[in-house]
Every structure is written in C-alpha cells, then in structure tokens.
Structure 1
Amino acid sequence: MISSTWTRLGSTSGVYKSVPRYTNKADATVRFDFTGTKIRIIQRTNIDNKKAHVTIDGVEETFGPFKNQFQTLVYEKTGLENKRHTVVITWSGSGYSNTPDAIDIDENGELLDPSETPETPEEPDNVLVESLKLNKETLELGKGTSEALIASVLPESAANKNIKWTSSDSEIASVDDSGNVIAKSTGKVTITAETTDGSNLKANAEVTVKEEEVDNSKGILKLTTTTGDLHEYDLTKKEIEKFISWLNIKGEDKPYYEFKLNVTTGNIHSRTEYIMYDEIVSFVVDEY
C-alpha cells in the first residue's frame, strides 16, 4: 500500500508495533493513497523533523512538533472531501532520521496502492423515459384561440426528455414544438406528444374546435369629470373592458381615451371625444 525509498527498522521500542520505517537520506520520500475525510500521522519526533515536509493532494501542509519524543501526532487533516487522496512525506535533511510509525484514517477509510490507477466510474446507463402524461386529455377551443398542453416526463433522471408534438389535422388545429395548440377551423383533432429517446411513449389530447361565441352585450358607460360634467357612451362589452383596462394602468400608454361617436348633425357624420385620465372622477356602467 505504501511506495517508499525508506528503510524498515528492526524491533525498536517506543514506536507503534515496534517496526517503523525511517530515512536519513535527503529527498527520500514515502507516498501512500487513502480514502476518507481525515488523516493523522504519528511518529517519533526530534529537533530535526522540521526538515520533513508533507503534502496532501499536491498541497504542502505543516509538519511538527519538533521536540524529542515517541508516538507524537505530527500531522492532522480533517474535513476532507470523502474521496481518494494522495499523501507524500519528503525528508530534506541529513543527520537525524525521520521515522513515521502509524497512520490513522476514517474507520471506513482504506489505504490504497499508489501504483494502481484509480478506477474511472462507469458512466450511468442511458435512462429512458418511463412515463409520459399530458395535463389535459380533452381540450375545447374557440376558433382563432390557442392554449398550451404540458407534457410531464418521468423519471427526472431520464437522459432525453425532448417531446415531439403532432396534430392529426393541422387545418383544424396545429401544434408547435412547445405544445401550443392553435385552433384554426371547426372540427375535432388529436394532438399527440411522443418521446424521442427510443422509449416510444405517446400521450394524446382530443381537441374540439368550435366557432368562437360572439358577445353582443352592450352597456352605457357614464363618466363624471372634474368639471362635474356627465358623459355617456353607448358601447359594446369589449369596448367597455378596453376602457377599464386603460384606466387600470392609469393611462400610462397615453394620457387620454378616445370615444368615437356617430353624429348626424348637419355635415358632421362622426365625432371623437377625448377624455383625459386626470379629469375622470368616477364612472358607472349600465349593462343592457
């Protein structure tokens, strides 16, 4: 498990299990790999241990203390990512020797042979779609309107979630790549969502297109202005809704609202009244 140019001592009292490795040669190294989140190195120390250097995953770390005693914690690193790590101890001096004798790692950690190339994790298999559903199985649209269908794909880990959308009759209703259904003419049509990852799953929605109902209801819009004047306009429901929408945004698109009136007085056949937003005090709608 350990790659080393160091020498194994014979039985030596005061060290872990009495059989350490040591070196007194410059640039001699010990390398080992391990898995886990922490490492502790224990050894005999002396005043010359400051000539020893330890690196973990290529980063040099502090190595010490340097007083003369046995079984001393000289290096500790915690909070590591739980993966494979590489440790190298290098002796840069001569004279006194450097004598590591114990390595402590996580209980479920493992010392690894540094000469072995780590196995490359296998790529996960291509996960196919297992379930395809639409938010609606039936849809009713007025001619000229549109609505989006939403496809739900499971599992979340599916490699390819792209959906192909088709219509059984694009002249009645078409569908775009995002599932937006556009009603074109009256009739019935089937919109199909289909997976494209090879799982061959499909989901259908039955769409009925009807003539759009025309709302012919009308009302009298009565406006009171800051001058106290009352203005009355005979409008369709859509025209009244358009005025209220303009009022709700406080006339931001334009400061006035136009009311076009039919007039049959003399040579005048039409009239446009402009009501400023700031002039409106209140309004009432009488529907009929």
Structure 2
Amino acid sequence: MKLSKKLCIFTILFLLSVLFIAPVRADAATVGQPLTSPEEGWQRFDSEDPKLHYEGAWFRETKGTAVNAWNHAENYSWGGDNSTIRFKFYGTKIRIISSTFSNKRTDNIIIIDGEYKTFSEYGSSSAWQSLVYEKSSLKPGIHTVIIKSSPDMTSSQNICLDAIDIDSDGYLIDYYQSPKLTATPGDSKVILNWDAVDGATSYTIKRSATAGAPYEIIGTSTTNSYVNAELTNGTTYYYVIVPVVSGNEKTPSNEASATPTAITNPDYIGNYATLVITMTNGGTKEYTLPVIDVDKFITWYDQKSDGTGKSYYTFTKASNISPYLRIREYISFDKISSFELKEFNQ
C-alpha cells in the first residue's frame, strides 16, 4: 500500500514537471551548424538585398538548385583586397549565414557599433547555409555593421555572404542614407546644397525639365554644393544628386526644384563683390569674391539661420607664403554679427 502511494506521488510530480517546466528548445542553432531557414523569432535577408553595400572585388556565384545555398547563390570575394560589406539594421540580434570550406579563414572581421570581432568560415568539409556568427542582447535600436575580409587573405582564399538573420520585427537600413537636397534660385542659375554623405568621394548632379522625369547628368562635385549657371529665367528645373562611394553610385537624394528669376534690384553689380563680415568681437573679415561665391555664402547663412547646414563656412584663398598654395579660413556662424556687400560697377 505504501509503495502504491509512493508511485502515485512520483507519477503526479512527473506530470507536473512536464506541464509546468518550460522545455529547452532543441532547435536553437549554434555557431558552426547548418541553418537552412530562420528560426522562430528571426527573419532572413538575402545577400543581394539592396540595403547591403559591397565595396571591393565581390561577385555573385550561382550554385544551382542542387546546392543548398539561400536562394541558390552567394556573394564571394577572393584574395586580400580588404573587401567590405556595410549595412545598418534595427533590432537586438544578428546572425551571419555563409558557406564553410577548407579554403576559408578563421579571422574574418565584423564590426558592430564600433566593436571589433572576428569570425570563422573555415570547415574541414563544405557546408552550405552555416551559422558563422551570432550576436544577441543588443540594445533595441539602430546598429551599424561592417564585415571585412582578413587583411592576410591570399588569392586562394575567399570570404562570402549567403544571408543575414535579424529579429522578426527588425529591418535593414541603407548604410548610405539619402542626402537632403535643397535648390535655391538665382539670376539665370540655381544653387544646390545637400548633406554630406560619409565615404562619398564625389556627387553626380542630375537635372530634368519635368518633375520625376528621366534625368540627365549635368556635372559632378567633390563638395556638397553646386551652381548650375546659364539657365533660362522663369523656367523650373528639377534636380537630384547621387553620392559616389568607392566608384559606385549610392541612394539618390530627394528631388528639389527651383525657378531662376532675374534680379531687378541686385545687392551687387558685375561679376565680383566685396563681402565684409563683422564678427561678434568687433573685428572684421573682408573677401573679394566672384558673384557665384557670394551666392553660396548667402545661401549658407540663410539656411543656417533656419537651423540647417554646417555651423561654419569655409573661404579658400590663394597663398603667396611659401610653401603653401592656398589658405582655408573657417568662419563660425555664431561668431558673425553682420555682413555687407560692396558693389562693383564692372
């Protein structure tokens, strides 16, 4: 009888443990294991997602349906050219999915929010859609990710990316976000200004005669401003600018438009004017400039007065002091008390 009671109690305790003790997930993948689909709480993005930016010698290798790569293809880079992938995402966790093989390295680089780590794609035998890196417990928010090949990678080695897994409610963000473009009309010209884009070496300026229509390239700029001159007053022009990073065009700006208008009561006459700036400490700065450069300064000042743009303006002057070719002078907006223009008759 006592034995029967003990068995009954044991059975009840066992059933309670099954019902109320949370089971450990048997499907939770670990680094080095194949992961052919995202697990619960995750979503997968292919390596061809347009929000991923590749820099260096990358190419897409199609494997065919017989090989279990995600979407049957991967992006590869061979040799030690310091190839890089950049992107941002919103979420709290990330997984890198790749193939593993004996010609891959153990010291590939991943940088998340400035924190430098390495990960391995090495395997004694080939395996597709393997989990090669995982980072969790990130603070909810936007995170910056840079993946780089090892600087010691040889021509017989490669790094590849198959897919990226992040939170099921997260999303990818373009690393090079679209710059904000403004267009200011002048007399027979339009002055363009935009936000600088990190990593951009130049900007392609495009124009159209109608809103949203196909654009034609009208010039390039290595700064974040451009003056489109010799235009027809009374005609509206539409512009976008495209940042160029490592030789590749990135996300275009918004479209901005302006209508050049003849100046009937100009602040200055002729091709040059002298700009006199009075500083808050009582000192003055004087610059004789082409009309176009005066326009740029006034545009910057007006935009900064409205709360946008850089906090300083740069004047570049030729130098007659050896060995310097030119001198750049930076004027802080909050140090300017007033300014005036002295007109030239010719």
State the TM bucket, normalised to the shorter chain.
0.3 to 0.5
Q: Which has the larger radius of gyration?
A: 1
TM-score by length of 2: 0.32
More helix by share: 2
